[in-house]
């Protein structure tokens, strides 16, 4: 009888779900064309990042890698408990990293977690170039 109870408890534990590691829902959106010359994107030039709220699950942080022509687009939906209403990543007031104020997870500007509880990197969307001053954010995951 004890063996059956132990087996049942192990089976139950193996089947339980931890919502903290659930995958973020897929996001399908039309390509977002960004003309870097437009005044709407001044923050990208001055601060090095900006929010684009009309794409992704909870919006995107568009980041310009310093001293390069590279841009990264990170999903703002935190990877720790992504279905929580407050699970939205923002750039810390220092501008040095990204943080989810809800769970306090911190991410570097490569999207990798710097502090718990998140252990999964932020989703990064693919970015293409269309000329010298135009980039296109797609819903393809990088």
Question: Could you read off the pLDDT of 80-91 as tens digits, one per residue?
Answer: 999 999 999 999
Q: What mean pLDDT comes out for the span 88-110?
A: 98
- Say what percent of the chain tops pLDDT 90: 78
CATH number at residue 134: 2.102.10.10
Per-residue pLDDT at 4 exceeds 60: no
| CB-CB contact of 84 with 95 (8 Å) | no
pLDDT at 47 over 90: yes
Give me the mean pLDDT over the 112-118 stretch.
97
4: in domain: no
Three-state secondary structure along 55-102? CCCCCEEEEECCCCCCEEEEECECCCCCCCCCCECEECCCCCCEECCC
Residue 99 covered by a domain:
yes
Count of structural domains, the chain: 1
The pLDDT score that the predictor gives to residue 17 is 44
Give helix then strand counts, H and E, for the chain.
Answer: 2, 10
Query: So what's the pLDDT on residue 8?
Result: 42
Q: Is residue 13 part of a domain?
A: no
Domain that holds residue 39: 19-141
With contact defined as beta carbons under 8 Å apart, do 78 and 90 qualify? no
Task: Note the pLDDT of residue 25.
Answer: 81
6 located within any domain: no
In a domain, 111, yes or no: yes
pLDDT grade for 23, boundaries at 50, 70 and 90? confident
């Amino acid at each position: 009888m004890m063996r059956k109870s132990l087996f049942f408890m192990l089976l139950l534990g193996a089947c339980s779900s931890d919502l903290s590691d659930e995958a973020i829902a897929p996001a399908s959106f039309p390509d977002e064309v960004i003309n870097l010359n437009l005044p709407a994107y001044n923050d990208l030039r001055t601060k090095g990042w900006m929010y684009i709220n009309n794409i992704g699950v909870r919006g995107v942080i568009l980041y310009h890698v310093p001293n390069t022509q590279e841009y990264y687009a990170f999903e703002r939906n935190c990877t720790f408990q992504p279905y929580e209403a407050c699970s939205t990543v923002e750039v810390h007031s220092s501008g040095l990293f990204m943080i989810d104020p809800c769970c306090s997870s911190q991410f570097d500007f490569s999207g990798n977690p710097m502090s718990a509880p998140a252990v999964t990197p932020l989703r990064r969307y693919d970015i293409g170039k269309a000329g010298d001053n135009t980039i296109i954010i797609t819903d393809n995951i990088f």
